Amino acid sequence: MIKPKVAIILGAGQISMAIARRVGRGMKIFLGDKRLDNANAIAATMTNAGFDVAPCQTDISSRESIEEIVARARECGEITQFVNGAGVSPSQAPIETILKVDLYGTALALEIVGDAIAQGGAGVTISSQSGWRMPQLTPEQDRALATTPTEELLDLDFLQPAQIRDTLHAYQLAKRCNEKRVMAECIHWSKRGARLNAIAPGIIVTPLAIDEFNGPRGDFYKNMFAKCPAGRPGVADEVADVAELLLGERGAFITGSTFLIDGGATASYFYGPLQPNLNQ
């Protein structure tokens, strides 16, 4: 008997939903979010559109919680798709929470799902352009972010709150870790015949982005998309365009990579009108 195909989606947000709608046809989708009401709302929208979605209360920063959703998914069928869109932004949480959720939580999810993903499966985690803006770390720090055992990550000396300037710096470190972690974890996933990649979006219009627009760095973010080559923010379906490639057969030779999708904002930051020295 052929087992049903199952997808795990973490983070009940607009990007996660856009990706799930793109790749989740004919699959059982387990949708996890720390706030069950968020998962219920997205699940209701997708169910009304013909998808099979089971909302779950899932805390990405809890090993027990991630193991629970993975166990539920495996009882139903083979986990062939994984999308991690869970996270908090610099304006939504303190340094410790950003590191616990965006850095440790992502590493935890990639590890646990990597032990359960089916042959031929694929995963995508949502990172951020912010990881590309921070000055380069040392090779030793990059390797530590990539390969330190998950439960020891938050003990790294350069991740101690006293070493971190502010919540934006914490977020940048977390997203740099996401990208390095994907490179290391794709080796682990390959032992099960599966692939893993990351997408680093720029300004995508979501409730999280709107929080940033209305937060202390709102003018900075509005200036960013105004002066990027695209001249506008992105939408969740444009992230789903990339995810569809990475999760499907046409992405069969792509693993361990991070795809920057930011309308050219990072290019403008280094070489165009967003260069910091031009705005001082």
Tell me the per-residue pLDDT of 89-113, one tens digit each, with 9 for 90 and over.
Answer: 888 899 999 999 999 999 999 999 9
Span 17-73, pLDDT tens digits: 999 999 999 999 999 999 999 999 999 999 999 999 999 999 999 999 999 999 999
Decide if pLDDT at 5 tops 90: yes
| Full-model pTM | 0.94
Structure confidence at residue 236 (pLDDT) = 96
pLDDT at 1: 63
Is 269 among the catalytic positions?
no
**pLDDT the model gives residue 220:** 79
Q: According to the model, what pLDDT value does residue 243 have? A: 98
Catalytic one of 28, 34, 100, 175: 175
Predicted confidence at residue 224, as pLDDT, reads 85
| Whole-number pLDDT of residue 61 | 97
Strands 78-84 and 122-126: parallel
Catalytic residue among 28, 34, 104, 171: 171
Query: Given pLDDT bands bounded at 50, 70 and 90, which one contains residue 183?
Result: very high
Residue 171 designated active-site: yes
63 phi and psi, to 5 degrees?
-60, -45
- Look up residue 195 and give its amino acid: R
Please give the pLDDT value at position 20.
97
Q: What is the mean pLDDT of the chain?
A: 94
Judge whether residue 153 has pLDDT over 60: yes
